[in-house]
Structure 1
Amino acid sequence: MSEKAAKSGKILLATSGWDPAIWIENFADKAKGRETVLPDGDFNREDVHYAAVWKQQPGSLKDLPNLKLIISLGAGVDHVFHDPFIPDVPIVRIISPDLTMRMTEYVVWQVLDHHRLGRRYRQQQSEKIWHEDRRQPAANEVTVGILGLGVLGSDAAEKLMNIGFNVTGWSRRERQLDGVTTYHGADGFKAFLKTADIFVSLLPLTPDTKGLLSMSMFAQMKEEGPLGAPVLINAGRGGSQNEADILAALDRGILSAVTLDVFQQEPLPTDSPLWTHPKVTITPHAAAASSASALVPAIIQQIEAFERGEVLQNLVDRSNQY
């Protein structure tokens, strides 16, 4: 393919809930000679070779006869498969150092907040209570178990170990990480659940992980540790959690506290009991926001490498939807 022909391929930006202006601006700056268009714009659909998407409207990628590649603007890709009209072309995830560090910051922040009794101290402050006789365990007395050992989980594990936490991890396929005791597959899952005091889920949403964070999982965790009952942090996907089971596990003392950044329905409905439960911390799907200035260069690099005939990076397995 000639350089002129390659540059003629337009990029369709198809998103929901985001202001596309900043993305258009960054594409204009980084994708020199390549036009970026919006689904409701006036353009020749035959000219679109690439689609950059985040929760695209169903059908927005239909009738693009020359579409060659779909690029997810987030770490996950379940939103892509919600479209029943998704074309049969390769799908890739964009992994960038910026996105990875944002997620690691979130995980470390929430692990430390639970470890250092942040919720308790905020409550004491609101009630003007000075209480200093509770023992604070050291980081090396606490084990953090990470579900999902991809790029995000591996980086979070490394940073948590640097602070002093013991770290274990579980993944669908076998993974080896220095300093981390790893488990994999269905056979390793039960053993993994007995290892940790704080569980962090960074799992993608797939048919296998849908509803995984449920009472059947919580009941297999160890009952007591230095923080009491285990803590759950979910910054992966809302579809992987059963929210009724989370509330029941908190009320029964099976879980001592949770932090949830993702939910089965977003925005979280105002009548959800999660909002007011005293053991729940809520953040509005803010763990790792996609930054146009950080991700667009990675997208252009991927496109240019593809046009040179190089192997696609972070290619999605459609059979596993990840």
Structure 2
Amino acid sequence: MTANVLFAGRPDAWPAYEPLLRAEFARLGVPANLRNEFAPEEVDYIIFAPNGPVSDFTPFTRLKAVLSLWAGVEKITPNASLTVPLTRMVDSGLEQGMTEWVAGHSLRYHLGMDTHILDQNGRWEPKAPPLAKDRNVTVLGLGALGTASAQALAALGFQVSGWSRTQKEIEGVSCFAGADGLKEALAKAEIVILLLPDTPATENTLNAETLAMLPRGAKIINPGRGPLIDDGALLAALDSGQVGHATLDVFRIEPLPPEHPYWAHPNVTVTPHIASETRESTAAEVIAENIRRAEAGEPLLHLVDRSLGY
């Protein structure tokens, strides 16, 4: 039986995704009728992004699953009209892009590159940084992106700790969990990387209390989600020197408003939500494989637990 698959991502993404998805369906032998327009009652699967045309799933009466093109699903899970299984995007391109961005900014902090690139002022200070083995880095969030980033940093020789809500075991990474584990993970963290999902339980993970747990002068890197940080608490910690610098890629409001104090703060680097993004070629592989699995009665990959929000 041929499955009807609706592409409901951003309309201008359709020309890029269409040939890739068709090629993957053919490669996997999945009989699929792929379109960007269908009568709702005819649709079996929706390839979805929150910035696409679908927000109400009620008319899709024979829908089997919704397959998100985004890694974050916080904008989808509250939708009461969505009652079928939901998957999120976890693909090799997304992981590789995030790993490269995290490693680059971690090395930037570790090597003190800003001093030489941004703050020359005629000073000659031949002071080499420590080796990576003497630098403590903590990754908050050990899902697919956090694990990949932690493993990459460990491979570079850093002393890497990781924290998650549930206990994980990752080779080369000291893993912590729970409230006591968070305190221990932050206690030696010279660089902190946030890769947690955005849920009510993770909002303001870095706040006045947890920022005070860090060694003085610690650096913050947030490519995860804006609400993970209490902005007022971070600005206060930057002003006091408790936090030495913050590189922020995600924000509660995007684009970041021009009047936001992050823009003008001398110890904040703002990047415009570019740490990583879904790559069409690798995303098409994941989507097609999940539809193959669903049609074959096999478990879906990257299934979202909506009670947890990820």
- TM-score, structure 2 normalization: 0.92
Partner of 1:164: 157
In structure 2, stretches of 5+ residues that fail to align are none
Partner of 1:221: 214
Farther off after superposition, 24-33 or 145-154: 24-33
Q: Is the 8 A contact 2:4 2:34 kept in 1?
A: no
Q: Is the 8 A contact 2:7 2:14 kept in 1?
A: no
Farther off after superposition, 194-203 or 240-249: 240-249
- Does 2:58 align with 1:70? no
Q: Is the 8 A contact 1:239 1:264 kept in 2?
A: yes
Partner of 1:118: 113
Partner of 1:13: 8
SS of alignment partner, residue 31 of structure 1: helix
Instruction: Tell me the distance in 1 between the aligned counterparts of 2:133 and 2:6.
Output: 49
Whichever residue aligns with residue 143 of structure 1, its letter is N
Partner of 1:26: 20
Deviations 1:112-152 (A, max 9, x none): 01111122222224x4x242244422211111101011221
Q: Is the 8 A contact 1:53 1:80 kept in 2?
A: no
- Does 2:223 align with 1:230? no
Deviations 1:269-297 (A, max 9, x none): 11111112111111111111111111111
Farther off after superposition, 101-110 or 28-37: 28-37
SS of alignment partner, residue 81 of structure 1: coil
- TM-score, structure 1 normalization: 0.88
Deviations 1:77-107 (A, max 9, x none): 112135x344111111232122111110011
Q: Is the 8 A contact 1:144 1:165 kept in 2?
A: yes
Q: Is the 8 A contact 1:231 1:258 kept in 2?
A: yes
Instruction: Tell me the distance in 2 between the aligned counterparts of 1:279 and 1:143.
Output: 20
Partner of 1:207: 200
Whichever residue aligns with residue 32 of structure 2, its letter is R
SS of alignment partner, residue 182 of structure 1: strand
Aligned with 2:290 (options 302, 308, 314): 302
CA separation of 1:85 and 1:132: change in aligned 2, threshold 3 A: same
Q: Is the 8 A contact 1:145 1:200 kept in 2?
A: yes
Aligned residues: 305
Q: Is the 8 A contact 1:71 1:299 kept in 2?
A: yes
Instruction: Tell me the distance in 2 between the aligned counterparts of 1:285 and 1:143.
Output: 25
Higher relative contact order (CA 8 A, sep 6+): 2
- Does 2:136 align with 1:140? no
Instruction: Tell me the distance in 2 between the aligned counterparts of 1:207 and 1:190.
Output: 19
Partner of 2:270: 282
Instruction: Tell me the distance in 1 between the aligned counterparts of 2:197 and 2:266.
Output: 28
Deviation at 1:163, TM superposition (A): 1.3
- Does 2:47 align with 1:47? no
SS of alignment partner, residue 6 of structure 2: strand
Q: Is the 8 A contact 2:7 2:47 kept in 1?
A: yes
Deviation at 1:34, TM superposition (A): 2.8
Deviation at 1:37, TM superposition (A): 3.6
- Does 2:97 align with 1:102? yes
Instruction: Tell me the distance in 2 between the aligned counterparts of 1:163 and 1:27.
Output: 36
Q: Is the 8 A contact 2:8 2:54 kept in 1?
A: no
Q: Is the 8 A contact 1:13 1:36 kept in 2?
A: no
Aligned with 1:251 (options 239, 245, 266): 239
Instruction: Tell me the distance in 1 between the aligned counterparts of 2:155 and 2:40.
Output: 50
Q: Is the 8 A contact 1:12 1:48 kept in 2?
A: no
In structure 1, stretches of 5+ residues that fail to align are 224-228
Identity %: 33
Deviation at 1:60, TM superposition (A): 4.2
Whichever residue aligns with residue 268 of structure 2, its letter is V
Q: Is the 8 A contact 1:148 1:203 kept in 2?
A: yes
Instruction: Tell me the distance in 2 between the aligned counterparts of 1:63 and 1:12.
Output: 16
